[in-house]
Structure 1
Amino acid sequence: MQVTMEWTYKTPKGTKTNFYSEQLHAKDALMIAADMERWQRVESLVFVDYRGNRWSEKELRAYTEEIATEPHDITVFFDGGFELAQYKAGLGCVVYYHQNGKAYRYRFSKYLEEINTNNEAEYASLYQCLELLEELGVHDLPVTFKGDSKVVIHQLAGEWPCMEETLNRWADKIEQKLEQMGIDPVYQSIPRKANNEAHKLAAKALDGVETNSTIEV
């Protein structure tokens, strides 16, 4: 989880001022906080997450220890390839996460029939990613979803309307799955080049080459 730090600095003569950090990984923020405490100049300190929730050092430390053995710090890249001639799709998904002090990458691709549009393939790919997270045991955590489909990203973020019935059904399925798993989604639209890994997986799936692998990174 990413947080910012807010603290009040107090000099030996009582002069005070406030400081704000850039966004940091919670683990790094806690390390900095421990170092700051050695100087005994910090009068108050809070950590603020991406949703604006405020954490004390004790609360944040307990949270990071609680989730250490489970998949966390999760970023998902998704892409859907579509072939109009045969109404088939290739789904690509890449999941980066931490668990037990190590970093992992999970790559998955799948061939899917009876898909009617490229946008539907993109939605299907994101839903497939959620099923993978469910298999990993992800629950009650924030997850960042990155894709180059502006339609999917902006519609799920509530920034664009969704008029197509088929896409609405996929959006409903995704939102129900998110609620069921307790996932708090953060959607980010990225350029195609930044989504190259998921794009290649989707393209290979269209050619009949499916992938399912996990490595330490």
Structure 2
Amino acid sequence: MKKVFFALILGLAGVNSAQGDDGKERYVEECLSVIGRPTVVVTSSYGKLKYNFDKDGAYLRRETERKYQESGQQMPQDLVPVGLTKVRDGFDFNMTVGHIEISHGYSCLYPQEINAHLGYYVPTIYILKDLQKGTCLYEVALRHEKTHMQIYIEALDYFLPEFKKAAVGQFDRIGVRVVGPGESADDAARELNEAYLNDMKEKVEHWRREVEQEQMKFDTPQNYILESKLCEGKDKPASE
């Protein structure tokens, strides 16, 4: 769930400038000469891994099939899921917008502080309840799901520097908004907030797609066949 917080802080500051009106560009330059760069705070979290051994085969099959569908793929018909890893990621964005008055009745809306958070919560590994602990199939299933969890962790670790760089670079990409006499500062502030938010959302959505693609590379039919062979002659297949 994405939580978007918006705050408009009104602050008045008198700024001297040359007379004349040659378009909003000059007022943007005037604004940039007065304000500083926004404070950017980027945080992350991984959540506490939980294990669930209470789900039956019908649940695991339904949720695994949904996972395939969300990735645009079809689950192999002969696949019998005995484990599943579910992770929810949370992206939070909070920008404080400042407001100063500049020349000739113009005002400037600008980012004062940006807080961006990306992380996981409620990471859970599900193991089929019929699997007996200590059996080969149980250990293979558990190892498989732990690998999925490790992929999630490494994917977040890999993306965080880029995520922070993107947040810090927003000011250079998007800048400020200037409104003239009679124009709504509130509307401009909302538009500015939306521009910054959408900029980060686009990057997060791209990252999410890449993570799921990496996860599905591990869930190939070939890999399942190899894993099933590890337990040939050691355990009886668990029934749903």
**TM-score for both structures, normalised by structure 1:** 0.23
Higher helix share: 2
Q: Which structure carries more relative contact order (alpha carbon 8 Å, separation 6+)? A: 2
Higher strand share: 1
